[in-house]
Amino acid sequence: MGVGCSRCVSLSTPINLTSTPTPTPTPTSTLSCTPSTPFLFFTHKPQFPPKNLTKSPSLRRLKCGQFLAKQTLTLDDDVNDDTTTSPLASVSPDLLQQIVYDALVWSSLNGLVVGGKSVQKSGTVPGVGMVHAPFSLLPVNFPESHWRQACELAPIFNDLVDRVSLDGKFLQEALARTKKVDAFTRRLLEIHSKMLEMNKKEELVLGLHRSDYMLDERTKNLLQIELNTISSSFAGLSCVVSELHRTLLNQYGKYVELDFNRVPQNTAVTEFAKALAQAWKEYSNSRAVVMIVVQSEEHNITIRRTLAEIDSEGQLLPDGTLLVDGCAVAVIYFRAGYAPNDYPSESEWRARLLMEQSSAVKCPSISYHLTGTKKIQQELAKPNILERFLENKDDIAKLRKCFAGLWSLDDSNIVKEAIKRPELFVLKPQREGGGNNIYGNDVREILMKLQKEDSEELNAYILMQRIFPVVSSALLVREGISHQEETISELGIYGAYLRNKDKVIMNDHCGYLVRTKVSSSNEGGVAAGFAVLDSIYVTD
């Protein structure tokens, strides 16, 4: 019997708080592979339908391109009855008030909640300081052809990540100049280099990825923003917000003329869980555990260890087994470890090296982590580089079609162009988590400063074509208050990949994430406070 852990954790079954029969939706095979039934729920305040409410031309379908003036609403405010100036001129004010209220009630009952950062004990005491996650009241329109394209790309990107990760020489050479000016990347490469020196082979490989896209209004093309190979967040909440929208449209769709079947069912959380469970199974130690590496104040409730705790409690056995607090670890999922702030001391770096040396399935391994860096994304966009890793010409063409312009700063011509027209570019450092990209005149100023100083720091950045997505109107709900805004949206497609030696066990797309933000905002992270969670409404 292998080394294991005698402790066990039971997962309780969610309780349906409604006693009303659940309506069965019409199957929509074009949008999803699995059936799902939205909840039908009822609230007590305010009463619905509002008095004298009837379906009329004033309740016509919301148009994404329609301009709606900015306004803030609270549940206690009177909604403007003047439909010519109302932020939702096409929807009855009473109906809007009801939908917002019911959305907030549903969020509380169905787990669309996060830890509130303003509450002192939130993130350290489970269940304390929970607030609803920020969300868009209705889903955003998205063309079905581009939805299908994004889903089709996921397994190709999964395969590409795996193949690039196996080419240690490529990773080291591509990031050689970056590591001279980026201490964080240098430390990751040092761990990777030690694995190469040990000839460490990862027989079991797990990748839980998310590829992010925007639909460019100018070219009408779906363009990739980035590929995430570590801590691909919001798989859980994205599923819940999709069900929120399906539920709202199931109940109110006849008034806003939207069909809940056009909101794709979201399987991200179940598919990610399935991938983790299958990786655990492939590890072949029934007493081993799955460990999630988290930050010190984690706003998701998990069975967790910080990097420092792993350094303190971790032990590597001669056969490669990793023990943490006496438990053998089969799978390690990194919810932290992607940013310099996650490594405040040498203790965290020792923990990262310890885990990498072990036989546990790392999600991601150090090579997968490096493959997801922005510099590698830029390198893969160069001519003839994809051919180094992929043989299928159709797959290569599909990937290239979604690539936005990406350039290294050793290209003097593109740097001159960016200084001349900075509004057409985004300057990206090698950082994850939102809030790091540089836009507008700041692009010009930083490039000119680094050029004047003849600084090697140029190697810490890449230039990317700026994408100009469609602007639409949306009602954004945060902390119980709704704001009508002009917004842009970003679609993320999750992918899961599991390989045991030469056998590919899982390679597929598995759900999606939509983040919607005010169009004037450059950054887009939900956790960073720039965006809200959303879902898509598939259009012809």
pLDDT surpassing 70 at residue 67: no
pTM score, whole prediction: 0.83
Is 261 part of the annotated catalytic residue set? no
To the nearest whole number, what is the mean pLDDT of the chain? 83
Q: Look at 25-39, 198-212, 364-378, 488-502 and tell me which has the smallest mean pLDDT.
A: 25-39
Q: Please pick, among 86, 211, 233, 408, the residue that the annotation labels catalytic.
A: 233
Q: Please pick, among 374, 375, 444, 499, the residue that the annotation labels catalytic.
A: 374
- Consult the annotation and say whether 435 binds a ligand: yes
Sign of CA dihedral 56, 61, 63, 69: positive
Query: What is the C-alpha separation between 43 and 23, in angstroms, rounded?
Result: 17
Q: Look at 96-105, 188-197, 390-399 and tell me which has the smallest mean pLDDT.
A: 96-105
Q: Hey, what are 243's tokens? A: 């069900």
Q: Please pick, among 86, 122, 136, 210, the residue that the annotation labels catalytic.
A: 210
Half-sphere exposure of 165 (CA within 13 A, CB side): 28
pLDDT category at 91 given cuts 50, 70, 90 is confident
Q: What is the pLDDT of residue 115?
A: 80
Q: What is the number of other CB atoms lying within 10 angstroms of the CB of residue 81? A: 10
260 to each of 24, 64, 124, 139, 489, how far by Cα in Å?
12, 17, 37, 10, 19
End-to-end CA, the chain: 56
Is 356 part of the annotated catalytic residue set? no
Is 233 part of the annotated catalytic residue set? yes
Higher pLDDT, 49 or 388: 388
**Ramachandran region, residue 62 (left: φ > 0; alpha: ψ -120 to 50; beta: rest):** beta
Distance of CA 475 to the CA centre of its chain: 21
pLDDT per position as a tens digit, 450-505: 888 877 888 889 999 999 998 999 999 998 988 888 999 999 999 999 999 999 99
Torsion angles phi and psi, residue 380, rounded to 5: -65, -20
- Consult the annotation and say whether 437 binds a ligand: yes
**Residue 493: which of 165, 157, 143, 30 has the closest Cα?**
157
Q: Any residues with CB less than 8 A from the CB of 281 and at least 6 apart, and which?
A: none
Is 226 part of the annotated catalytic residue set? yes
Is 220 part of the annotated catalytic residue set? no
pLDDT per position as a tens digit, 13-57: 333 333 333 333 333 333 543 333 333 333 333 333 344 333 333
pLDDT per position as a tens digit, 229-260: 999 999 999 999 999 999 999 999 888 889 99
Is 228 part of the annotated catalytic residue set? yes
- Facing residues of 228 across strands? 210
Is 515 part of the annotated catalytic residue set? yes
- Consult the annotation and say whether 374 binds a ligand: yes
Query: What is the C-alpha separation between 215 and 140, in angstroms, rounded?
Result: 12
Is 314 part of the annotated catalytic residue set? no
Query: What is the C-alpha separation between 75 and 68, in angstroms, rounded?
Result: 20
Q: Please pick, among 228, 266, 285, 482, the residue that the annotation labels catalytic.
A: 228
- Consult the annotation and say whether 278 binds a ligand: yes
- Consult the annotation and say whether 101 binds a ligand: no
- Consult the annotation and say whether 433 binds a ligand: yes
Is 420 part of the annotated catalytic residue set? no
